[in-house]
Structure 1
């Protein structure tokens, strides 16, 4: 990759850029509200490609006081360049707890493969969130505890 990548927390002025990256935010008003909340909570991490927001990830500690990646989204024009793995590795490095979790729908094969490539292992599943599409929970050790 010849482009320069950098990371930083999203600021309120980044809201429209983050919405533009998110494939669900344009038709899901709840996602837009969540994006505002995540930015306000300073839990939304941006991956910048040559200074332009290309992806974002959300890291919280509300899952039994463990790290939890709520969302990882690479903007459509920036996909298939390895940015998801870079962002995931950044979030792992930023995690302040020894355990880090994430989850995705069973049908989301690209995200499941990305999590596995980045050292996450399946840790169970939750039924009945999305009909007929279980939520698969993943785990990996983050920082030394």
Structure 2
């Protein structure tokens, strides 16, 4: 018996079943079950009340309650002289600049001279400024400190504005250590210009001086 041409010979399965071979060379069993994708075991699980199928229409979600509006922080501080019961708060603020060992004596000295101003927000002391008026007949800001959680909110600007208004001299000076980049930037933003420096201080760093000419309307 000769061999049938390739692709036209009887399929072994068809020959065994006694059925004529398919012209495409495939078995009569080929394609059986076609279109029936295997079902995932999870699909056989019984749906519980409340379950949603991918073919179900989307459900309407209940409206969420509106969030409570955040209480905005006060944009303006009350600048005033400190009270007698605020010594601890003043010392804590001063210690960030002078260190804890010198803070108490520093605050006490300026309290006696009445040369301290505090920034008050909602009854809490959030800023401190110390100044003197006998520095070469000029007003000199000796210290400014703002509580960390309210920085960059204009507290220092409000303190400087107040000392400008009460300065008896048209010349206002201030200083900061050369390593304090934030303070240097603040002085520039407040209208101060560099005015020299002081070397050979015990702190080991150069102290930078800043100057601001006060307009007649900015002081009493």
TM-score normalized with structure 2 length = 0.60
By how many angstroms is 1:25 displaced?
Answer: 7.5
Q: Which residue of 2 aligns with 1:119?
A: 191
Q: Which residue of 1 aligns with 2:124?
A: 52
- The range that moved more, 41-50 or 77-86, is 77-86
Q: Which residue of 1 aligns with 2:210?
A: 138
Unaligned ranges ≥5, structure 2: 1-71
Give the structure with the larger strand fraction: 1
C-alpha contact (below 8 Å) 1:19/1:25 kept by paired residues: no
Q: Identify which of structures 1 and 2 has the higher relative contact order when contacts are C-alpha pairs closer than 8 Å and 6+ apart.
A: 1
Unaligned ranges ≥5, structure 1: none
Pair member with larger Rg? 2
Q: Which residue of 2 aligns with 1:5?
A: 77
In 2, Cα distance between equivalents of 1:25 and 1:137: 16
Q: Work out the number of aligned pairs and report it.
A: 144
| 1:20-45 CA distance string (max 9 Å, x none) | 32343895322211111111211000
Q: CA RMSD in A?
A: 2.1
In 2, Cα distance between equivalents of 1:83 and 1:23: 18
- What secondary structure does 1:24 align onto? helix
TM-score normalized with structure 1 length = 0.88
By how many angstroms is 1:48 displaced?
Answer: 0.6
